[in-house]
């Protein structure tokens, strides 16, 4: 692209009836067979390079080994026998074997021996392929185009009018290009790749010729590795209006659950593109995903669409990914994942007015009994270590602060004792009430245990150290919590 910038794209790419480039290569392309496609590239590339060289100009590669670069210096011996019926494969033999040997001539320590076809083998080699980074059209890029094109939506958006049998623009139907244009060409519908290249690049080139500010029109201008924009950075971008509600009560006819008050505007601020949720069309989930499932929704029923924990687009899946963040993982890394009975009510609360309910987490000082309000001294390992001091109240205050700063946590940490339950996970909890000691369930004597419940030492280290590691905080070593006694070798002792 740089070498032929003056000559223009027409040197390599053909144009349609409107004068726009199609960006298919080569111009004269025969992809009916592997051989014909290879010849198309060779005729176009090498032919152009040879002609350019004849004119005394600097040109590109003209020999096989210059373009077809082998990834590894040494040859990997992967053999497949060739018999007399496979002469057509000799093309690959010459390309992969002969040229590779010529390139590595310095590595050859003896002359090649004469082989009969019965002893001849074709060596397969791994060729390094160029992979361009994928790009996404997020809120930021859309906003840049809105400003540059003065909100003239019809320049990019259209639908197919069945009566007129042509593409037309209709306000209020704007959607993602990928809603119609998929991975591959389908009948009279181009793939997203072809649409993006032909539509975007031609537009950029047209504006460039008019000396107007525009976007890139060479490969590396778009396909570059760049830092992903964060949702906090995206907040400053004006909201993308498409007639969507600010808030809506998601209720399904025939469902036995209460409706879900959904803050659509709030969730937009947590995404980078509408496709984070609306992966096929810009419509409500229930239009494709019904209670029992339908062909339009790939037979994925509504419950699974909303609750699939492994999907990035489902509610539960998205929320689960948030729980892996350092600020949340300290507690959640050992808690059971997935949907439980207790997790239904925070969402299925019914009326729309339930949106934005403030966190019910109370003052930590009102939770702890007087006997547990200060630092707790743990002497379990005092044979080898000094007692460990556990800042009980300070930890609860910090976790409460983290919880109240998260909109997601505010919605689900609805009980005053939620913070307590991450450590005291099997105990009945109540404000100002003492809970059973950890050693009640986690035995100090490991030999006497006949269950899968961790011993006391394991419980402390899995919970305390696990929390520190997940949150990226210190200490994470033995003496960071309990100093070793003078004269004793510190380490885990046998119990």
Asked if 361 and 419 touch (Cβ cutoff 8 Å), the reply is yes
Residue 491: is its pLDDT beyond 70?
A: no
Which is nearest to 137 in space by CA: 267, 244, 274, 238? 274
* Mean pLDDT across 196-208: 91
Round to whole Å and give the CA distance between 420 and 430.
Answer: 10
Label residue 364 exposed, middle or buried (CB < 10 Å: 0-12, 13-18, 19+).
buried
Selected residue with higher pLDDT from 332 and 233: 332
Note the pLDDT of residue 494.
36
pLDDT band at 91 (very low <50, low <70, confident <90, very high): low
Higher-confidence position of 61 and 448: 61
The pLDDT value recorded for residue 98 is: 60
Per the prediction, the chain carries an average pLDDT of 81
Instruction: Tell me the CATH number of domain 247-332, given options 3.40.50.10860, 3.30.300.90, 1.20.1250.20, 3.90.10.10.
Output: 3.90.10.10
Res. 263: pLDDT tops 70? yes
The structure tokens listed for 313 are 């687009």
Residue 454 reports pLDDT greater than 90: no
Domain regions of the chain by residue span? 9-67, 79-123, 139-195+224-234, 247-332, 358-481
| pLDDT (tens digit per residue) in 108-139 | 445 555 544 444 444 444 555 667 888 888 89
- Residue 234: pLDDT band by 50, 70, 90 thresholds? low
Q: State the average pLDDT over residues 468-482.
A: 90
Mean pLDDT of 328-336: 88
**Tell me: the pLDDT tens digits for 408-424?**
888 888 787 888 888 89
**9-67 has which fold?**
Cytochrome C3 (3.90.10)
Confirm whether 139-195+224-234 and 358-481 share one CATH topology.
Answer: yes
> Above pLDDT 70, what percent of the chain?
81
Asked if the model's pLDDT at residue 74 lies above 50, the reply is no
CATH code for the part of the protein at 139-195+224-234: 3.90.10.10
Q: What is the value of pTM for the model shown?
A: 0.71
C-alpha to C-alpha distance for 131 and 337, rounded to whole angstroms:
36
Averaging pLDDT over each range in 165-179, 370-384, 446-460, which range is the top one? Answer: 165-179
CATH of domain 358-481: 3.90.10.10
pLDDT of residue 318: 92
Q: Please state, in angstroms and as integers, the Cα–Cα distance from residue 78 to each residue in 68, 73, 111, 124, 125, following that order.
A: 18, 15, 21, 6, 8
**pLDDT score for 192:** 92
- CA 481 from chain centre, in angstroms, equals 37
Whether residue 26 is preceded by a cis peptide bond, meaning omega within 30 degrees of 0, is yes
């Amino acid at each position: 692209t740089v070498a032929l910038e003056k000559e223009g794209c027409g040197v390599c790419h053909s144009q349609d009836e409107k004068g726009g480039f199609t960006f298919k290569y080569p111009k004269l392309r025969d992809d009916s067979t592997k051989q014909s496609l290879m010849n198309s590239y060779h005729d176009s590339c090498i032919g152009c390079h040879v002609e350019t060289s004849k004119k005394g100009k600097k040109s590109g590669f003209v020999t096989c080994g210059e373009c077809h670069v082998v990834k590894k210096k040494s040859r990997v011996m992967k053999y497949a026998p060739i018999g007399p019926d496979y002469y057509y494969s000799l093309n690959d033999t010459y390309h992969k074997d002969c040229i590779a040997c010529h390139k590595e001539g310095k590595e050859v320590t003896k002359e090649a021996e004469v082989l009969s076809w019965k002893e001849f083998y074709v060596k397969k080699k791994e060729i390094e392929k160029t992979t361009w980074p994928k790009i996404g059209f997020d809120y930021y890029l859309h906003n840049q185009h809105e400003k540059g094109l003065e909100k003239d939506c019809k320049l990019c958006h259209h639908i197919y009018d069945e009566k007129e049998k042509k593409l037309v623009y209709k306000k209020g139907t704007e959607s993602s290009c990928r809603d119609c244009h998929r991975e591959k060409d389908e009948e009279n519908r181009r793939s997203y790749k072809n649409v993006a290249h032909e539509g975007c690049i031609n537009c950029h080139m047209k504006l460039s010729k008019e000396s107007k500010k525009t976007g890139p029109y060479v490969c590396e201008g778009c396909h570059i590795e760049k830092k992903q924009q964060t949702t906090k950075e995206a907040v400053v971008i004006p909201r993308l209006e498409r007639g969507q509600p600010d808030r809506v009560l998601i209720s399904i006819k025939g469902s036995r659950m209460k409706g879900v008050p959904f803050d659509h505007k709030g969730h937009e601020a947590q995404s980078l593109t509408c496709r984070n949720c609306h992966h096929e069309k810009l419509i409500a989930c229930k239009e494709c995903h019904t209670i029992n499932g339908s062909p339009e929704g790939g037979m994925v029923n509504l419950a699974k669409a909303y609750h699939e924990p492994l999907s990035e687009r489902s509610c539960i899946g998205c929320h689960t990914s948030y729980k892996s963040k350092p600020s949340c993982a300290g507690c959640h890394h050992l808690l059971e994942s997935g949907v439980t009975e207790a997790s239904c009510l925070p969402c299925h609360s019914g009326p729309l007015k339930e949106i934005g309910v403030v966190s019910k987490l109370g003052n930590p000082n009102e939770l702890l009994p007087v006997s547990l309000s200060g630092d707790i001294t743990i002497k379990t390992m005092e044979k080898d270590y000094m007692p460990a001091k556990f800042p009980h109240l300070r930890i609860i205050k910090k976790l409460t602060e983290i919880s109240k700063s998260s909109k997601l946590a505010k919605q689900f940490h609805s009980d005053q004792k939620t913070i307590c339950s991450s450590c005291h996970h099997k105990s009945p909890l109540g404000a100002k009430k003492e809970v059973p000691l950890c050693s009640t369930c986690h035995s100090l004597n490991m030999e006497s245990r006949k269950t899968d419940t961790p011993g006391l030492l394991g419980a402390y280290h899995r919970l305390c150290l696990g929390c520190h590691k997940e949150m990226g905080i210190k200490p994470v070593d033995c003496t960071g919590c309990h100093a070793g006694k003078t004269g004793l070798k510190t380490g885990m002792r046998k119990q």
